[in-house]
Amino acid sequence: MSEFLEQYGGQIFELTVEHLWLTGAAMLFATLIAVPLGMWLTRRPGWAKPVIGVANVLQTIPSLAMFGFLLPLPWLGERAARVAIVALTAYALLPILRNTYAGIRGIDPALVQVARAMGLTNVQRFLKVELPMAASLILAGLRTATVTCVGIATIAAAVGAGGLGELIFRGVASIDNELILAGAIPAALLALACDGVLGLLERRFRVPGYGSAA
């Protein structure tokens, strides 16, 4: 075991960092797209069904196929990391989008009315009432998306984007179970850690005594 760690420890660490960077960048993009989009949809509910439908379809594309589709595209295909980040972003959209939309739509309409009647501007109503009340559910979406992405990111190694999947693929190719585990165990731990941290954050933002978020 110690011998194994000596041989692969440095590599595992490097690949974990790479894995985190791929997932983190994708989550950042997905959040920047899906949270504002989800908010916008609450103002234009007619668009909600088609837009969430598109995100849903993206989710159903098999991940290996998704990486394959993106590879031949200009600019994107030049770097494997770009392909991986775009694909992961696409997978992360749905949970964040859906929860943002549901979180804001789920607020008691009487409270939104009161906020208006008290003379809060649209921006104030959004920042002081809607966003904090939906925060826990939005974070729950972020958590689901992150855990999914940490898993899918292992497949990014198939297009040469690196990450812990690299050890897994190498292990599979050389029929080396230890090597597979060297990639799989850290990936699983990473997913659990993200789940735990985001879970704490989600609870922190839960509105006391108001429904049951997520």
Partner 1 sequence: MTAAIEFQKVRLVAPHGKCLLDDISFAVEEGTTTAVLGRSGSGKTTLLRTVNRMAEPTSGDVVLRGKSVREADPVTLRRSIGYVIQETGLFPHMTVQRNVGLVLEAKGMPRRERMLRSQDLLNAVGLEARTFGKRYPHQLSGGQRQRVGLSRALAAEPKILLMDEPFGALDPLTRTEMQDMLRELLARMHRTVLLVTHDLNEALYLGDRVVLLHEGKLAADLQPEDFLRSRQPEVEAYVRAFHRGELSAAAEKRA
Residue from 10, 45, 77, 132 binding partner 1 (CB under 8 A): 132
Q: Which is nearer to partner 1, 9 or 45 (CB)?
A: 45
Q: Output the smallest distance, CB 48 to partner 1, in A.
A: 21
127 binds partner 1 (CB under 8 A): no
20 binds partner 1 (CB under 8 A): no
Stretch that binds partner 1, among 11-19, 156-164, 188-196, 202-210 (CB under 8 A): 202-210
Stretch that binds partner 1, among 5-13, 59-67, 106-114, 150-158 (CB under 8 A): 106-114
Nearest Cα neighbor of 70 from 7, 178, 148, 158 is 158
In the numeric block, which tokens belong to residue 22? 């791929």
Q: Give one DSSP letter per residue of the chain, joined into a string.
A: -HHHHHHHHHHHHHHHHHHHHHHHHHHHHHHHHHHHHHHHHHH-HHHHHHHHHHHHHHHHS-HHHHHHHHTTSTTGGG-HHHHHHHHHHHHHHHHHHHHHHHHHHTS-HHHHHHHHHTT--HHHIIIIIIHHHHHHHHHHHHHHHHHHHHHHGGGGGGGT--STHHHHHHHHHTT-HHHHHHHHHHHHHHHHHHHHHHHHHHHHTPPTTSS---
Give yes or no for a contact between 150 and 19, defined as CB atoms under 8 angstroms apart: yes
Residue from 25, 111, 181, 184 binding partner 1 (CB under 8 A): 111
Q: Which is nearer to partner 1, 79 or 128 (CB)?
A: 128
Residue from 6, 44, 46, 110 binding partner 1 (CB under 8 A): 110
207 binds partner 1 (CB under 8 A): yes
Q: Output the smallest distance, CB 24 to partner 1, in A.
A: 28
CA distance linking residue 98 with residue 132, whole number of Å: 17
Stretch that binds partner 1, among 15-23, 50-58, 97-105, 201-209 (CB under 8 A): 201-209
Q: Which is nearer to partner 1, 33 or 201 (CB)?
A: 201
124 binds partner 1 (CB under 8 A): yes
Q: Output the smallest distance, CB 120 to partner 1, in A.
A: 5
Interface residues with partner 1 (CB under 8 A)? 108, 110-111, 113-121, 124, 128-129, 132-133, 207-210
